[in-house]
Amino acid sequence: MKKTALFFFILCIINTYSFAQDDLTTTLNLMPWPKEIKANDHQLTIDKNLTVSIHGQGQDRIQLAAVNFIRRLTKRTGVFIDQGFPITDKKGTIIITFQKRTALNIETDESYILQIKSDHITIDAATDVGAIRGLETLLQLINHNTSSYYFKGVTINDAPRFVWRGLMIDVSRHFQPIGVIKRNLDAMASVKMNVFHWHLTDDQGFRIESKTYPKLQELASDGLYYTQNQIKDVVAYASKLGIRVIPEIDVPGHASAILTAYPEYGSHQGEYTYEIERFAGVFDPTLDPTNPETYNFLEGLFTEIAPLFPDDYFHIGGDENEGKHWDANTKIQNFKKENGLTTNHDLQTYFNIKLEKILNKLGKKLMGWDEIMTPTMPTTAVIHSWRGENEGLPKGGSLISAAKTGYQTVLSNGYYIDRMLSVKHHYNVDPIGNVKLTDEEHSLVLGGEATMWSELVTPTTIDSRIWPRTAAIAERFWSQQEVSNLNNMQLRLKDVNFKLEELGLTHIKNRNVILRGMTDNQDISALLDLSKICEPLKVYSRNQGGTEYKSFSPFNLFADACVVDAEDAIAFNTLIDNFIYAPSDTKRAKILVYLSKWATNYERFSNIKSNPKIEPLAALSKHISDFSKVLMNSIIQKRLTKAKHDALTTQLIALNQPYADVEVMITADLKILLDYCTDHYLVN
């Protein structure tokens, strides 16, 4: 899949350079970082005369990409470019050359060579998709001084490390309109991701129109589903971006919605009312694998749905089936005995093998979550590795064993972005790591997918849960394994994060929307400052305790305004680290700026006319202000009394509690600072 056309190979031999990441990463905000990059002294000014020309056969994708490139360049620079479309008669300022329009599959060549000289820029690629990847890199190279915008001179020789660089979006728990999907596809393309895995069905809703089985959308979607025309539209849109679309119809578990529409295929013995599930969790409704009609139904459904998705792969889910209804059903138990199926895993494998035959007839490879990897499952299936230490598996989960057994495999364990963990956590997860694999095994590790499960996200908040962390994961999938400097990644990510806004993503702007809504459009500065040091509760703990979220519960609360990697908390953490390592007056002054901002929070908070939505934050605001005030004064006065020390210690415990579904992310650093004060300023 990383075969490069001969002329590239020769080019590479002629120009045998390879620069380490650190040489240029401080000046260039590229993400994902390219395979090889070399700076030169050239610089091409962006002015109204800039033109783009395209050379190659089959230009539908690249024409659109070039137009969008010009639009984004225009927005970024404000330059009134004369030629709003690629020119056709001669070579442009930017000359795009490619060999062929490519099919989208795991063999697609996405490599490109980008050269920026003073008078022109070339992008050379074996395929149109490679050229598209090059255009995204070029957009990341726009620079400016006071009087003009320009491209900085570089030569880049780039190709991905993994062929499968995916994002999964769950549209069942919370439906996501087409606009949400499209803007996230744009964002994916901007960081060179190439697989959109569409989790279309689950207990909470069946989201795709079936003409064969219309009750699926009529009874099991609350009216929130994609028409087949919309599906085709999204698939075509993704294809233009060089993104494959893999549908997932999750069976035999996660089937409450399917069985709400067609209860006759369920496993429950006797009367049972299946209903669209409103809560989050793992539920019992399961298809009956012993009923031949179940397969007729699935064959009918797959035969209708598969052609909407031209991709070779088709995801059948297969996860989290606890088999309770199977165990309680004597007919199913008898079937197992009759067919020598000892465990429920055996029964599910029986089911999976039947599905694989259906899918093969439709020209599809079966893909499923790693529960499908049983001793009897043929290695023609594709293993989507999701479980790891949290689910009682060894570190790294099933990915390596799948590859060693001979399965193609894709990693999502470690990339569950809905767990609301730091970008550093995900960036540190390497699909292969230090494991030694044969070339054959290595080629079976296709890549990975970030997974956006949507129990706790809505169209308003989903972007801020996907981005910017997924950009760093995209780099993990595209860039060489050695590209791993966390601090450098975070610097570049800051720029990428902001630039994602130009694609219409709402991850930044919707925070204030939520806060305005919470305050009835009053001054939000106090809440905004709080949100910069708080993060939503992690690892599904938000859904515990007194609050039990349903799919239609409010998700525009304070926790929804907060994001992972809270900006002031991150900056404060760096500051405290530096201060403790080498204290200085400058750093002390910066610390006081933060403490003083937090010290006034409660006063500002109290100026907001209260309402039931912000009332639960009063205690949080007060604790932070009280603590910050005392600590600030102790630092200014270089004096901490025992009484104040004890009070602060008690308050820290309070700050470590969750408030309104958020956790305060500065408490560890406040503790360090308190300890410093204790060591240096404590008086009796």
Q: What is the Cα–Cα distance from 176 to 205, expressed in whole angstroms?
A: 12
Closest listed residue to residue 206, CA positions, set 160, 262, 166:
262
Using rule CB under 8 A, residue 658 touches its own copies: no
Closest listed residue to residue 70, CA positions, set 43, 101, 92:
92
Beta pairing, strands 382-385 & 365-369:
parallel
Q: Say how many residues make up the chain.
A: 684
Cα 10 to chain center, whole Å? 36
- Residue 615 is among the residues annotated as catalytic for this protein: no
- DSSP-derived secondary structure for 34-76: PSEEEEEEEEEEE-TT--EEEESS--HHHHHHHHHHHHHHHHH
Looking at 143-151, 253-261, 284-292, 397-405, which segment touches its own copies (CB under 8 A)? 143-151
Using rule CB under 8 A, residue 607 touches its own copies: no
Using rule CB under 8 A, residue 39 touches its own copies: no
Task: Compute the least distance from the CB of residue 329 to its own copies, in Å.
Answer: 31
Specify the residue, 137 or 204, whose C-beta has the smaller distance to its own copies. Answer: 204
| Of residues 545-604, those binding its own copies (CB under 8 A) | 547, 549-554, 556-557
Q: Which of 218, 304, 320, 501 is catalytic?
A: 320
Using rule CB under 8 A, residue 510 touches its own copies: yes
Task: Compute the least distance from the CB of residue 221 to its own copies, in Å.
Answer: 13
Q: What is the Cα–Cα distance from 91 to 119, expressed in whole angstroms?
A: 12
Residues facing residue 170 across a β-bridge: 199
Among 178, 219, 393, 592, binds its own copies (CB under 8 A): 178
Task: Compute the least distance from the CB of residue 22 to its own copies, in Å.
Answer: 23
Using rule CB under 8 A, residue 101 touches its own copies: no
Looking at 355-363, 411-419, 511-519, 642-650, which segment touches its own copies (CB under 8 A)? 511-519
Task: Compute the least distance from the CB of residue 178 to its own copies, in Å.
Answer: 7
Closest listed residue to residue 166, CA positions, set 280, 366, 311:
311
Specify the residue, 395 or 550, whose C-beta has the smaller distance to its own copies. Answer: 550
Binding mask 271-300 for its own copies (x = CB under 8 A): -------x----------------------
Q: What is the Cα–Cα distance from 161 to 481, expressed in whole angstroms?
A: 8
Task: Compute the least distance from the CB of residue 100 to its own copies, in Å.
Answer: 22
Looking at 131-139, 222-230, 247-255, 582-590, which segment touches its own copies (CB under 8 A)? 222-230
On whether the CB atoms of residues 257 and 202 are closer than 8 A, the answer is: yes
Among 613, 629, 639, 671, binds its own copies (CB under 8 A): 613
Using rule CB under 8 A, residue 611 touches its own copies: yes
Find where tokens 């694989």 sit: 356
| Of residues 69-98, those binding its own copies (CB under 8 A) | 70-71, 74-81, 84-85
Angle at 430 between CA 479 and CA 134, to 5 degrees: 15
Among 498, 574, 596, 603, binds its own copies (CB under 8 A): 498
Looking at 145-153, 419-427, 570-578, 668-676, which segment touches its own copies (CB under 8 A)? 145-153
Closest listed residue to residue 173, CA positions, set 516, 443, 418, 9:
418
- Residue 177 in 3-state DSSP? coil
Among 2, 3, 91, 144, binds its own copies (CB under 8 A): 144
Task: Compute the least distance from the CB of residue 33 to its own copies, in Å.
Answer: 20
Q: What is the Cα–Cα distance from 590 to 611, expressed in whole angstroms?
A: 34
Indicate the DSSP class of residue 204. T
Cβ count within 10 A of residue 402: 25
Looking at 313-321, 416-424, 493-501, 576-584, which segment touches its own copies (CB under 8 A)? 493-501
Q: What is the Cα–Cα distance from 262 to 453, expressed in whole angstroms?
A: 25
3-state SS, 452-500, equals ECCCCCCCCCHHHHHCCHHHHHHHHHHCCCCCCCHHHHHHHHHHHHHHH
Specify the residue, 72 or 133, whose C-beta has the smaller distance to its own copies. Answer: 72
Specify the residue, 394 or 616, whose C-beta has the smaller distance to its own copies. Answer: 616
- As annotated, the active-site residues are 320
Residues within the interface to its own copies (CB under 8 A): 64, 67, 70-71, 74-81, 84-85, 144-149, 177-179, 222-223, 227, 229, 233, 278, 459-460, 495, 498, 501-502, 504, 506, 508-510, 512-513, 516-518, 520-521, 547, 549-554, 556-557, 610-613, 615
